[in-house]
Each structure stands twice: as C-alpha cells, then as structure tokens.
Chain A
Amino acid sequence: QITLKESGPTLVKPTQTLTLTCTFSGFSFSTGGVGVGWIRQPPGKALEWLALVYWDDDKRYSPSLKRRLTITKDTSKNQVVLTMTNMDPVDTATYYCAHLGSMPFDYWGHGTLVTVSS
C-alpha cells in the first residue's frame, strides 16, 4: 500500500525559504520508472505542478518557478524534499506530494497548507 505524507511549516514569512518533506512508504526509488512530484493549489484555485524527481535522480521543474525551487530525494529515508526560496504571500497554498509510477500521480498525500504572512 502506497502512502505519502507532507510535513513542514504551516506559516512562513515573506522572503523566507520554505522546506517541505514528503515521507512515503509502499514503494522505493530503487524501482525503475518511479517518481515523486510536488503540486500546489492556492485556496480556491487550480492545481499547479511544481517539480518532479525520478528514481535515477532526473529532476524537472516548473519553468516559471525554476529559479526558486530545489527538489532532492533521500532513498535511504524514503523522503523527497522541496525547497522554495523567497516566499511571497501569493505562494500561500496547499502543497501536495504525489507518486508517479505506471500512472501519473496515482497516489497523493493529504496536502499541507502553507500560509505566507508577516
């Protein structure tokens, strides 16, 4: 059974760096083709794909946010970490991590709401 869970701060100040951790179980980065992505959703708005890391450490980023994002994986801990620099109130959103395998984003975490406010 695949599960994912996001963790991190619920409140960050403008200009600060956000660090979110996705801890998962039920799959491994040792399996070819596996990936974990981050997707966010501002309140009342659409899903926005942010970043993705594959089993072979191939990494992809949203072009509009690429300069602010870093995604890393820790295979031994079954974790994926997303950092986003220079946070702004417009970055207030629920942040999800999701598994990518034989289907795109077939398992999701519950999401974590991050509010950016001074």
Chain B
Amino acid sequence: QSVLTQPPSVSAAPGQKVTISCSGSSSNIGNNFVSWHQQLPGTAPKVLIYENDKRPSGIPDRFSGSKSGTSATLGIAGLQTGDEADYYCGTWDSSLSVWVFGGGTKLTVL
C-alpha cells in the first residue's frame, strides 16, 4: 500500500486527452516536488515530468504536470497507441525521509 494513491487504470481513445491523479499528504506532495515516470512494457522507467511541471529535454509537450495542495496530476494530450504504459508519480516524503512512488496507473489507448 503506497502512501501516494493513483487510479489503477485509465483509458481513452487515440487523439484524446487523459489525466492521471496522484494523491498524497502534507508530508510528501504537499511540501515537495512531484515527478512522473513512464514505464513502457518490458523496459525501465523514464522520467516524464520533474519538479511538478517541468519536462526533460526530448519529452513532447503533449505531457504536462501540475500540482495543487496534496495532489498532483499528469496530463497526456493527443494520445497515441505508443503511450500505452504504466505511469508512476513519485516524491520525497519529509516525515519518513524517503522517496515514495505511487502504486502506478496503467494507461490503455483504446
């Protein structure tokens, strides 16, 4: 049971937009930066978003991140079949002094 809560799955049609939520508390999301990782089947995770809303070089602007209070959201616009993957939010937990990942959300592009 992760301290960060994500929906187990989301789905949408190609070309549509989907959002994935990540809910935490004041000891983690509320007072620390959030990152998002994408894990394509059979591969290592890749960072999509860091510091709540920043994209590393090479990540298309179809991917966006936001944070409000103790929740964060990943948005993916213009869905493509290649976006089918597991998505994980992550942040530092100040009270535990550890990194925490969410339970992951499986995205299906119908």
Contact residues of A: prevailing secondary structure: loop
Q: Is the CB of B44 within 8 A of A110?
A: yes
CA–CA, A61 and B90, complex, Å = 16
**What total of chain A residues lie within 8 Å of the partner, measured CB to CB?**
20
- Determine, out of B14-22, B70-78, B94-102, the stretch whose residues face the partner at the interface: B94-102
B50 close to A62 (CB less than 8 A): no
Chain B residue numbers with a CB within 8 Å of A106 are 47, 50, 56
Say how far A102's CB is from chain B's closest CB, in angstroms: 8
B90 touches A104 (CB 8 A): yes
Contact (A60, B99) CB under 8 Å given A47-B88, A103-B50 = yes
Q: A46-B104, A105-B37 are in contact. Are A60 and B98 (CB under 8 A)?
A: yes
Q: Which residues of A contact B99 (CB under 8 A)?
A: 37, 49, 52, 60, 104
For A104, give the chain B residue with the smallest CB separation.
Answer: B35
Residue of B2, B35, B46 near A46 (CB, 8 A) is: B2
The contact size tier of chain B is: 20 to 34
B-chain residues with CB within 8 Å of residue A46 when the two chains form the complex? 2, 86, 88, 101-104
A62 surroundings in chain B (CB, below 8 A):
98
Convert B34-75 into 0s and 1s, putting 1 for each residue whose CB lies closer than 8 angstroms to a CB of A.
Answer: 010101000011110011000010000000000000000000
Cα-based distance from A52 to B50 in the complex (angstroms): 18
**Once the chains bind, are A49 and B100 in contact (CB under 8 Å)?**
yes
- What are 16 pairs between A and B in contact, CB < 8 Å? A46-B101, A47-B39, A47-B88, A47-B104, A61-B98, A62-B98, A63-B96, A96-B45, A103-B35, A103-B47, A104-B99, A105-B35, A105-B45, A106-B50, A108-B45, A108-B46
| Residues of A participating in the B interface, judged by any CB pair closer than 8 Å | 37, 39, 46-49, 52, 60-63, 96, 103-106, 108-111
